[in-house]
Amino acid sequence: VIRCRAAVAWAVGKPLSVEEVEVAPPKAGEVRVKIVATGICHTDEHLLEGSFPNVDFPVIPGHEGAGIVESVGEGVTSVKPGDKVIPLCLPQCGECTFCLNPESNYCLKCHVSEPQNLLPDKTSRFTCKGKQIHHFLWVSTFAEYTVIPEYAVAKIDAAAPLDKVCLLGCGFPTGYGAAINTAKVKPGSTCAVFGVGGVGLSVVMGCKAAGASRIIAVDINKDKFAKAKELGATDCISPHDFKKPIQEVLTEMTGHGVDYSFEVIGHADTMTAALASCNMNTGVCVMVGVPASGSVISLDPMLLLSGRTWKGTLLGGWKTRHSIPKLVSSYLEKKFNSDVLITHTLPIAKVNEGFELLRAGK
């Protein structure tokens, strides 16, 4: 058993508490990882607010990390102690019907199919003050050590800087892949990105990499615009600057609406606006932001009947165990610069300050 620090969420709506926890050794098919760096993603904030579905408290959040394998359980063959790895918040078991379908990146072992609050054998590897602590998406990267099923770990290049590539565990591939894999943005096209936080900026990078000629960033926080332009946005607009709905503004700016729109916020009203802002016949709208559980969207069916396509994306459409290591190699080859998404670097003891910065849009 390893004793180490972890940021524990004891209850909904309470700040995280950095505690000493005990992390049990890995059982068969499991890997114990020393987490070196973790990003804070809005999904963790949803968890703390209680709006992420099917999570049990107390829990150790965090799902965007990078680390080094400390030990492995019986039967583990794909990684060994000392390997650099990225934990996968979307597993790839390799055996279910979705994993076996080359066009799918879903896995039946993921949290959307059955909760990942405990490891597959329905027990936890975390205890604190004599209490069982739950896992989050099986990865729980807000702990210095964590135990993860082998099929939720990807071995990456030994040269990768863990404090930078941790973003490749969730935020960057989700946005970049939404443009490249899910929307399949074509060269010369026009795109609108609703919400240009870390994931939205990754969508902007994906649109640019795919050759889009016009990329319109939409956000109510104008502090985000300088970075959006640096990464490829050609126009930046705030809905607060107009009297009319933003979809009408985008339609006027582009003639008939954009070719591709992306909602990277997770609000029902912006999802509808993003759909309405793309071309009524061939436009494609991709839902990237995670809405609060129980959200409902009401919609004029003509928005779809005229030919638009509305799609969702899960982690940018990447088959995680196959694709995340390749993305890390692309990062090392400087094919994209995800480092620009890093605004602050804090020790785990200041994790709550990190969430304050997130809430403040900084």
How confident is the model at residue 25, as a pLDDT?
98
Q: What is the pLDDT of residue 293?
A: 78
Question: Which tens digit of pLDDT belongs to each residue from 43-92?
Answer: 999 999 998 889 999 999 999 999 999 999 999 999 999 999 999 999 99
Q: Is the pLDDT of residue 4 over 90?
A: yes
Q: Domains in the chain, please, with CATH?
A: 2-169+319-360 (3.90.180.10), 175-314 (3.40.50.720)
Give the pLDDT confidence of 143-192 residue by residue, as tens digits: 999 999 999 999 999 999 999 999 999 999 999 999 999 999 999 999 99
Least Cα distance to 64 among 338, 353, 362, 360 occurs for 338
Q: By CB neighbour count within 10 A (0-12 exposed, 13-18 middle, 19+ buried), where does 11 fall?
A: exposed
* Residue 263 phi, psi dihedral angles, 5° rounding: -105, 115
CB 46 within 8 A of CB 52: yes
Strands 30-38 and 65-72: antiparallel
The answer to which of 72-76, 220-224, 290-294, 319-323 has the lowest mean pLDDT is 290-294
Around 188, how many Cα atoms within 13 Å sit in the side-chain half-sphere?
0
Q: What is the per-residue pLDDT for 53?
A: 86
Q: Tell me the C-alpha distance between 261 and 167, whole Å.
A: 23
Q: Taking 90 as the threshold, does the pLDDT of residue 240 lie above it?
A: yes
**CA–CA dist 285, 299 (Å, integer):** 14
Within a 10 A sphere around the Cβ of 345, how many other Cβ atoms? 9
Band (291; pLDDT cuts 50, 70, 90): confident
Spatial CA neighbour of 308 closest among 265, 269, 270, 256: 256
Residue 295: what pLDDT?
A: 87
pLDDT of residue 355: 97
The Cα 199–Cα 265 span in angstroms is: 9
Place of tokens 């995340």: 324
Give residue-wise pLDDT tens across range 263-286.
999 999 999 999 999 999 999 999
Burial class (CB in 10 A: 0-12, 13-18, 19+), 220: middle
SS3 274: helix
The b/e string for 17-56 (b: 16+ C-beta within 10 A; e otherwise) is ebbebbbbebbebbbbbbbbbbbbbbbbebbbeebbeebe
Q: Is the pLDDT of residue 300 over 90?
A: yes
pTM of the model: 0.96
Please tell me the predicted confidence (pLDDT) of residue 314: 96
C-beta separation of 173 from 315 below 8 A: yes
3-class secondary structure per residue, 8-48: EECCCCCCCEEEEEEECCCCCCEEEEEEEEECCCHHHHHHH
Secondary element (H or E) of residue 322? helix 320-332
- State the DSSP H helix or E strand holding residue 354, giving kind and residue range, or none if neither: helix 351-359
Mean pLDDT of the chain: 97
Token duo for residue 210: 């795919």
Q: Please enumerate in sequence order all residues whose Cβ is within 8 A of that of 221, keeping only pairs 6 or more positions apart, or say none.
A: 238, 361
- Calculate helix-pair angle for 351-359, 42-49, nearest 10 degrees: 100
- The CA distance from 38 to 21, in Å, is 18
Give the length of the chain. 362
Q: With bands split at pLDDT 50, 70 and 90, how would you rate the model's confidence at 138?
A: very high
